[in-house]
Amino acid sequence: MEVTKATAALPRKAVSLRRTSLTRNVVVLICCLGILAWLLLDILQERTTAEAASREWHGQFEQDAARQRARIKHSVATFFETAQYLAGHSALRQRVQDWQSGSDAVTPRVSLWQPNWLARIESLDGSIAINFAAVYGRNRERLAIYHKQQRPLPAVLEIAADVGMLQVATQQPQIVSIRNVPFLIAAFPVQDGMNEVTGTLLIASSVDNGFLQRIIGPDPRRTASGLLLGDGQKPVAVSSSRLAEAFAEKKVGREGRFSLVANELLLESEHAPGLRHALWIDEEFVSRSNAPYVFSVRQQRLFIILLFSLLCLTVVARIAVRIEKIHRKVDGYARRLGITLLPDSSHGDQIDHLKRHLERMSEEVIAETYALEYQAQHDNLTNLPNRSLLFERMEVALQNAQDDNEPLALCIMDLDQFKEINDTLGHHIGDRLLQEVARRLASVLRRTDTVSRLGGDEFAALLPGADHQRAKAICRKIIAAMERPIKVENLRLRIGISIGIALCPEHGGDGNLLLQHADVAMYEAKRKALGFCFYMAERDEHSISRLGLAGELSDAINQNQLMLEYQPMVDIKTGKIFCVEALVRWSHPEYGCIPPEEFISAAEQTGVIRPLTLWVMDRALEQSRSWQRAGIDLKISVNLSVRSLQDRKLPDQVQKLIDRYNIDPGRVILEITESAIMSDPLSARRVMRRLSNMGFILSIDDFGTGYSSLAYLKQLPVDEIKIDKSFVTQMDSEENDAVIVRATIDLAHNLGLKVVAEGVESTDVWDLLEMLGCDTAQGFFIRKPVGPHELTDWIRSREWEQERWVKPMGAAI
Ligand code: C2E
Ligand code: CA
Ligand code: CA
């Protein structure tokens, strides 16, 4: 016992381990997606934030660059003015005269300290230091030189040697590069008292880091600036050591720490390289300044993603709960349909499980539908096609025969003395016999032929392509097959068979007619013990009158020979007439009043039943409306035939009538005989469902004669049953009938169906029905069917009576 328990527990555990929950899956998915979204957004945002920040910075950089350029330009201009100012100094003018005239031969011509021939060794605004100064005579010969100690003399000499440069420098400041060291130079002519040019003064300043820093002062942290010669890539002077280091480490440029934003020409010269000013951004500083902003944006983003994830999770949790509910419902339906849904042992979440359950259920339902369809088209006992399938195949076969101009034969077979066997040996022997007969019939025929059991001991064989000869040969085979005794249990039974044959097209071109003629032939064969017999029109006594009658029926409808009578139905509890059943009559000019039982089946066989049913419906609804207008409150009950239930167009046609007379379908009862439903359950079910959906009340007529179970009928959209009069009329004297009626009433009530008893002919039956709790009574005891005017007068004459009218009615019959 223990061992079993343990092993049983194992798979369950494994199952629960393998089952994954939708919520868990989605949580994992959302987390992953959230992180991914966050990362992606972060990268994108980082970039856009940096771009936005740098756009903002850019304006400031432009301003920085412009300010610096202005200062440099100003300093250079002032430097040039300084040359003018120094050249006009009286001491220098005097000296130049002296040097030229040779009167001052002692004055040192080269000085390392500030010479006395210069007024002040500072530029006018002091931002550019004068490193060199030189004086030249009229013939550009060098007269005196001043240079700061730290600069090598030869450089200065070289500047002075370039007399061409001297000339240019008197017009505007110049940049000269001597041994890769750039110098800013400016010159101005020296004049004597007579305004005669006696010489030229040249001043120079080396362009280096100090030069730049003195002019622009300390640069802001965000930028670094530099001076470039010509188109040079590397600056000759930089404003900060950070930039110098970056150049040394090659961290300047697009991907480096410093990136260039401005590069403008400051000084242009034909003879010497121009001087450019450049500005770089310190990206490190900028990104450090952006960091707090980026951080706050990131926080916002994280918050939004978290909020969104939470929202998704709530939605998913809600979906999961709903799926669980659907799941439970599906399982409930499956249980009700008797479908076993195995516990889930495979992978997947709730949706997968639900999907599998639905798939399994639909498979089962499809299989069930197939089985039902098969069942509806086949005979339970013999598994042979039933009447409805035979008709279906016959229609196809007739069409093919017509198209291919080929013959076709239909045989109707009836066993001889089967009733005796059934009665004496019992039904189970009879059933076994029928099964063997069916097997033998099937074995004799081809696959393209159809053998069908029409009911009881009646069979049919549809033989496409069979002419007179072939039909005859087959019948002989069948008779021969039946001659061998049939062994059932310990008995050896012999059974004869009578076969009637109708051929297409000789004996008819439609299924009903062929069946009818084969039937006539079969009776002929049986009556004369012929074995088989072909249909012969001249011997069919009934056919002419029957067919004649059926043919006339169609005209009778148009010529107003039909009429309706109405029979009241009474609520047993209140005694009130609440409904009438419409019953058709044919008042034939020759034969007088023909009861419906004599022409309804002919109408069904000839197809006149459709116009007939519609005619009855039309008149009944018209009458119902006129009662309604007269203030008489009556429901109306109309009979539908077997064929009506196979007619898919019927519901639409009925709807048109309902619309025309503006009648509530809830006040119309449609009576369908039990046998009609059972002869073709599928079509009946379809049409009934449509009629019920349209709002009609559906009633099963002649209940008890069709061998169907109430449980089966309950599957149909039925509202009430009408117990057949054969059980009711004598239920006061026949105990069996009373038992059947009582059981039927109880069962129907348990299933929520109302019960009508028809054929109530006496007070005793009425009282008995009242005692058994039957809902409605109909019968001659209340009133025979009468014409509408008579019924109206009768109802009116009862209205003033206060007491229950039932008792006086007994007298009214
Ligand atoms: P049903 O639908 O069962 O109709 C009841 C039949 O029982 C009627 O016969 C009615 O006159 C008869 N009846 C009523 N009360 C009693 C009673 O107390 N005792 C006895 N012995 N009989 C009673 P009816 O009018 O001759 O109709 C016979 C059948 O013809 C109907 O049986 C119905 O199946 C069919 N039928 C009548 N009118 C129509 C119709 O318009 N369309 C179709 N498709 N069938 C109809
Ligand atoms: Ca009826
Ligand atoms: Ca009936």
Give the distance (Å) from ligand 1 centre to CA of residue 725: 10
Which of 144-153, 297-306, 331-340 comes out lowest in average pLDDT?
144-153
- The answer on pLDDT for 714 being more than 80 is no
Whole-number percent of the chain with pLDDT over 90: 33
Give the distance (Å) from ligand 1 centre to CA of residue 773: 24
* CA gap 720, 754 in Å, rounded: 4
Q: How confident is the model at residue 89 (pLDDT cuts 50, 70, 90)?
A: confident
- The answer on pLDDT for 345 being more than 80 is no
Across residues 493-502, what is the average pLDDT? 92
Counted residue by residue, the chain has a size of 813
Query: Which residue's C-alpha comes closest to atom 33 of ligand 1?
Result: 639
Across residues 285-311, what is the average pLDDT? 83
- The answer on pLDDT for 607 being more than 80 is no
Q: Are 453 and 411 in contact, with CB atoms under 8 Å apart? A: no
pLDDT, tens digit, 9 for 90 and up, residues 258-272: 888 888 888 887 666
* CA gap 211, 232 in Å, rounded: 18
Which of 470-484, 585-599, 619-633 comes out lowest in average pLDDT?
585-599
Give the distance (Å) from ligand 2 centre to CA of residue 649: 22
Strand blocks (E) in 285-387: none
Q: How many CB atoms lie within 10 A of CB 765?
A: 25
Torsion of Cα atoms, 581 then 586 then 587 then 593, to 10°: -80
Q: What is the 3-state secondary structure (H, E, C) of 73-136?
A: HHHHHHHHHHHHHHHCCHHHHHHHHHHHHCCCCCCCCEECCCCCCCCCCECCCCCCECCEEEEE
Looking up tokens 């505007």 gives 172
Helix (H) or strand (E) holding 559: none
Tokens of 126: 């002091």
Q: For residue 724, give the ligand 1 atom closest to its CA.
A: 3
pLDDT, tens digit, 9 for 90 and up, residues 353-408: 888 888 888 888 888 787 788 888 899 899 999 988 999 999 999 999 988 989 99
Cβ–ligand 1 contact at 422 (below 6 Å): no
Q: How far is CA 308 from the centre of its chain?
A: 25
Q: How confident is the model at residue 774 (pLDDT cuts 50, 70, 90)?
A: very high
Give the distance (Å) from ligand 3 centre to CA of residue 730: 15
Cβ–ligand 1 contact at 641 (below 6 Å): yes
- The answer on pLDDT for 543 being more than 50 is no
The pLDDT, as a whole number, for residue 622 is 96
Residue 188 in 3-state DSSP?
strand
* CA gap 76, 86 in Å, rounded: 15
Q: How confident is the model at residue 343 (pLDDT cuts 50, 70, 90)?
A: low
The number of the ligand nearest the C-alpha atom of 726 reads 1
Q: For residue 778, give the ligand 1 atom closest to its CA.
A: 15
Of residues 151 and 40, which shows the higher confidence score? 40
Looking up tokens 């994830």 gives 309
pLDDT, tens digit, 9 for 90 and up, residues 314-337: 888 888 888 888 888 888 888 877
Which amino acid is located at 8 in the chain? A
Q: Name the H helices within 537-580.
A: 541-558
Q: For residue 597, give the ligand 1 atom closest to its CA.
A: 30
* CA gap 650, 620 in Å, rounded: 16
Give the distance (Å) from ligand 1 centre to CA of residue 714: 24
Eight-state DSSP code of residue 385: B
Q: How many CA atoms lie within 13 A of 221 on its CB side?
A: 6
Cβ–ligand 1 contact at 704 (below 6 Å): no
Query: Which residue's C-alpha comes closest to atom 17 of ligand 1?
Result: 759
Query: Which residue's C-alpha comes closest to atom 19 of ligand 1?
Result: 759
Give the distance (Å) from ligand 3 centre to CA of residue 418: 29
Cβ–ligand 1 contact at 597 (below 6 Å): yes
Q: Are 200 and 170 in contact, with CB atoms under 8 Å apart? A: yes
Q: Are 504 and 514 in contact, with CB atoms under 8 Å apart? A: yes
Range ranked top by mean pLDDT from 100-109, 267-276, 574-583, 598-607: 574-583
The pLDDT, as a whole number, for residue 806 is 46
Cβ–ligand 1 contact at 123 (below 6 Å): no
Q: How confident is the model at residue 308 (pLDDT cuts 50, 70, 90)?
A: confident
pLDDT, tens digit, 9 for 90 and up, residues 660-682: 999 999 999 999 988 778 767 77
Tokens of 748: 């129907």
pLDDT, tens digit, 9 for 90 and up, residues 113-132: 778 787 766 667 778 888 88
Cβ–ligand 1 contact at 651 (below 6 Å): no
Across residues 539-555, what is the average pLDDT? 63
Give the distance (Å) from ligand 2 centre to CA of residue 757: 11
The pLDDT, as a whole number, for residue 16 is 39
Range ranked top by mean pLDDT from 48-57, 135-144, 610-619, 698-707: 610-619
pTM metric for this prediction: 0.47
- The answer on pLDDT for 733 being more than 90 is yes
Distances (CA, A) of 519 to 410, 538, 678: 10, 15, 22
* CA gap 467, 402 in Å, rounded: 14
Q: How confident is the model at residue 526 (pLDDT cuts 50, 70, 90)?
A: confident
Query: Which residue's C-alpha comes closest to atom 38 of ligand 1?
Result: 583
Give the distance (Å) from ligand 2 centre to CA of residue 671: 6
Cβ–ligand 1 contact at 780 (below 6 Å): yes
* CA gap 716, 90 in Å, rounded: 134
